[in-house]
Structure 1
Amino acid sequence: MGKLTLYVFGPGFGESQVVALPDGKWMVVDSCVHRGVNLPLELLRHFDAPAINLLVVTHPDLDHYKGLPELIAAFKVERLWRYPGFHTAREIILSLERGETDNKSLRELRRMQDAMLPLMRSASGREAAYDTRLLPEPKDYRIHCIAPCPQEKVHETERLGALFKRVEQGKKLTKDEKRWLMGKANRLSLAVVIWWDNIGILLGGDVEHEDGTPDRGWPGILAVMNEDETLGLVQGLRIVKIPHHGSKGAFCEQAWKHHASKGPIEIAVSTRFNKSANPPPHPSGLDKLIPYAQQLAITSPPGDFSPVITAGWLPVSHASGPGDAACVAITLAPEPPSSLDLSAQAALFASPMTVPPNAG
């Protein structure tokens, strides 16, 4: 039956997931760079990966796409899934850049778009959303895109269209509009689910709860899945990459009840963020997760884990060996237990409500 290994990078700014699939193929979700090192690129080189069989770019936020041009240049990308609204956003960025030649964020975003453009013009690239399905190419695993849901896609692409009209008319965008355009468009974020045998893995991008908006975020995804009778895609999961670094908006109780519908999931993984005054993961939300996950693994640079402990999680181990490129590696087989490796600057916590599985 083989095995599947999930590598989760989160060096403090940026995150990426690399999946070694059971048939020897490779899937990469987003890209990140730490101290000049392109983390997913170097991992693929380490394992002599011949190609990236599926590249997923969840949304246009610098901490999810930094280093993407180098990654695309280094490997043949057989298939690309990218967030909705790419071409409209590109036209806006090109217009803005002509008037703001010293804006580094604009330049980096355009560089990312330039790297993706040839793939989008070929048969290998496509816009992805809830209704995108990767047909099983070997027959023993499936990869599904589950976000954004149709309503979210319509809302956010209409917003992009309105911005484009304003730019065409020569009107200046507000600071908040530019901020959204250049990296806060979490509502456009993709999320993907991998199912192999009885193993379900959710890589949640930056999809958030969207409290009070039943047709947006996780509530919107679940509503559409319920209508389409596809809720099984997010039920009884074994591994979940927590969205948006474990921020206050990352936890949707309704979603986690589905994830843990067959008992607490084995491992929830969060990538830490270190570029704000109150960086995630946040205690509010992490405490709500305790009944739904046996273990919580966090990629982190050297820092304070008190928010996690405050939330009620019990420290199990903390890897702090040489190097500082935080990574959690989880190897899965059809029969548990899973093996979990913590690299430098990653930590493992156990839920006091469950008996943690053997961490290997």
Structure 2
Amino acid sequence: MIPDGNTVPHPTQVDQVRPEHLPDGALSLVVFGPGRGEAMVVMLPDGGVGVVDGCREPSSPETGRGDPVREFLAALEQRARLRGADFRLGFVCLTHPHDDHYAGLGRLLESYRGRVDEVWSVPNVGDRYAEALRSFVEVTHAGRETLPDDAKVRGLQRVLAELVEAYERQNSRFRHVGQGKRLLSKVVQSKNLELSACGPADADVNHAQMALVEGLESLIAEGEHSARFDPNVTSGALLIRWGQAGMLLGGDLLCKHGRHLGWDEVCGDIHPPIQVIKVAHHASLEAHHEELWARLGAALAIVTPFKDAKGSMPPRPEQVARLAQDAVVAITSVPAWPRRAGVPLAMYATPRSARSRQRVTSARNGVLSSMSPSPGEADTHNAVAVSLDATGKLVRFVLAGKANVYVPPARARARP
């Protein structure tokens, strides 16, 4: 599908998403996907801000430089100060403890200590669970499973410790992310605004916790384990509704296999209207629930690649081509796909490299000057942003960095 200006507006192309690119009073979503991992900033129509997951450790933990989420929040904070307002985060959510979703999130929580109203997470937030998960990952990451390297293990330790810190010592409220859990509810502009969790299923959480315990027990008793603990099985999925506007943030939730129920268990709770979907698990086939996809009929699908989509990594071109039959498909960074027949093509030219070297020098946007990307960090800011009004109309569509809309080759001839 090609943006027609009515259902999905033609995108604004920028080097880096900034607060001024998104309208006040709208429901906005910024999806950062620099090429591995994903993170999201949710901007509510009353000015509230939340963060879902993390995608990069900052090159400067103090300033946040190198983490696109921290840089975007710094710009929001600067704008709030200019308006004479305090800046807080309404919520910070960890959908699941995989390194492409928690990278940088611990540093973010450190930076905003005492300024986070709520922390949301699928695992029970507490020292005992954190210690169990740390122990399992530390012992097994050098074994047969593909697990994070030492630096990313430390990142996991940090984010779990900071979730405990926020909940137990910084007075942040904790909310459990699970099927049917209401996380936020209020009235904004005379319209109901609700943010809820539609997954994972309780049975999947129970099975995953048992697998973690079994793995630890076998490690203690035998020095090796046979239980497979896959955090994707318990990935959170979030649903945002405001009036007739709807967004589904799929996390890395997978479809049913074996004892795992996945989307099959929770999809009955998700109904139209949904205009925007952050596609689950980098648009892998094992995360695509065809019945749910067809029923929701979203106008815009946002995909984040995994490891630049090299080799067999998602998103696969054939899956993107399938999604593009029904929706505008925006991908946050260029997949490393082979050139062959049937591979989806980018619709738009990427922003000129000269724009990547521009610096903002006005006093009003001074914070943006210090956060402007250096040439080596340019891909950090690959992102897709979208804004909806309460009627469900998409009022803003932004492609940042190397983000683009991908269409099957036959449709690419109809470029705008």
TM-score over 0.5 for the alignment?
Answer: yes
2:119 to 80, 86, 97: 80
Q: Which residue of 2 aligns with 1:274?
A: 307
1: distance between equivalents of 2:258 and 2:134?
35
Is contact 1:31-1:39 (8 Å) kept? no
2: distance between equivalents of 1:291 and 1:103?
41
2: distance between equivalents of 1:273 and 1:192?
20
Is contact 2:53-2:101 (8 Å) kept? yes
Deviation at 1:277, TM superposition (A): 3.3
When residues 345 and 305 of structure 1 are mapped into structure 2, their CA distance, relative to the original with a 3 A threshold, is farther
Alignment of 1:1-360 (within 5 A): 2-33=25-56, 36=59, 37-48=66-77, 50-75=87-112, 76-87=115-126, 89-95=129-135, 103-121=150-168, 122=171, 124-138=173-187, 140-167=192-219, 169-174=220-225, 181=229, 184-211=230-257, 216-222=261-267, 225=268, 230-232=269-271, 235-260=272-297, 265-274=298-307, 277-293=311-327, 295-301=328-334, 304=336, 310=342, 313=344, 315-321=346-352, 322=356, 323-324=378-379, 325-335=381-391, 336-350=393-407
1: distance between equivalents of 2:173 and 2:333?
34
When residues 307 and 206 of structure 1 are mapped into structure 2, their CA distance, relative to the original with a 3 A threshold, is farther
2: distance between equivalents of 1:212 and 1:307?
36
Deviation at 1:164, TM superposition (A): 3.6
Deviation at 1:266, TM superposition (A): 1.6
When residues 329 and 24 of structure 1 are mapped into structure 2, their CA distance, relative to the original with a 3 A threshold, is same
Q: Any stretches of 5+ residues in structure 1 without a counterpart? A: none
Q: Any stretches of 5+ residues in structure 2 without a counterpart? A: 1-23, 60-65, 81-86, 143-148, 357-377
Determine helix, strand or coil for the equivalent of 2:106. Answer: helix
Is contact 2:136-2:212 (8 Å) kept? no
1: distance between equivalents of 2:138 and 2:54?
26
Cα deviations across residues 82-139 of structure 1 (Å, max 9, x unaligned)?
0225556423245458879994443322122111112232451233211310241345
Cα deviations across residues 203-260 of structure 1 (Å, max 9, x unaligned)?
11001123576x61111212xx3xxxx443xx23100001111122121101102221
1: distance between equivalents of 2:47 and 2:88?
10
Choose 1 or 2 for highest CA Rg: 2
Size of the aligned set, in residue pairs, is 335
Q: Which residue of 1 aligns with 2:373?
A: none
Determine helix, strand or coil for the equivalent of 1:319. Answer: coil
1: distance between equivalents of 2:129 and 2:389?
41
Is contact 2:348-2:404 (8 Å) kept? yes
Q: Which amino acid aligns with 1:47?
A: L
Deviation at 1:326, TM superposition (A): 0.4
Q: Which amino acid aligns with 1:130?
A: Q
Is contact 1:296-1:351 (8 Å) kept? no
Percentage of identical aligned residues: 27
Deviation at 1:310, TM superposition (A): 2.8
1: distance between equivalents of 2:181 and 2:123?
12
2: distance between equivalents of 1:14 and 1:200?
24
1: distance between equivalents of 2:329 and 2:58?
26
When residues 32 and 113 of structure 1 are mapped into structure 2, their CA distance, relative to the original with a 3 A threshold, is same
Deviation at 1:285, TM superposition (A): 2.7
Determine helix, strand or coil for the equivalent of 1:317. Answer: coil
Q: Which amino acid aligns with 1:150?
A: D
Determine helix, strand or coil for the equivalent of 1:12. Answer: coil
2: distance between equivalents of 1:308 and 1:280?
17
When residues 90 and 307 of structure 1 are mapped into structure 2, their CA distance, relative to the original with a 3 A threshold, is farther
Superposition CA RMSD, Å: 3.2
2: distance between equivalents of 1:274 and 1:258?
30
Once the two structures are overlaid, the 10-residue window that deviates more, 204-213 or 62-71, is 204-213
When residues 194 and 171 of structure 1 are mapped into structure 2, their CA distance, relative to the original with a 3 A threshold, is same
Deviation at 1:306, TM superposition (A): 5.5
With normalisation by structure 1, the TM-score equals 0.82
Once the two structures are overlaid, the 10-residue window that deviates more, 281-290 or 149-158, is 281-290
Deviation at 1:334, TM superposition (A): 3.0
2: distance between equivalents of 1:308 and 1:283?
10
Cα deviations across residues 311-352 of structure 1 (Å, max 9, x unaligned)?
5x5642143442322011112223434321111111113579
2: distance between equivalents of 1:164 and 1:254?
37
2: distance between equivalents of 1:188 and 1:125?
18
Using CA pairs under 8 Å that are at least 6 residues apart, name the structure with larger relative contact order, 1 or 2: 2
Is contact 1:327-1:344 (8 Å) kept? yes
2: distance between equivalents of 1:150 and 1:54?
22
When residues 218 and 99 of structure 1 are mapped into structure 2, their CA distance, relative to the original with a 3 A threshold, is closer
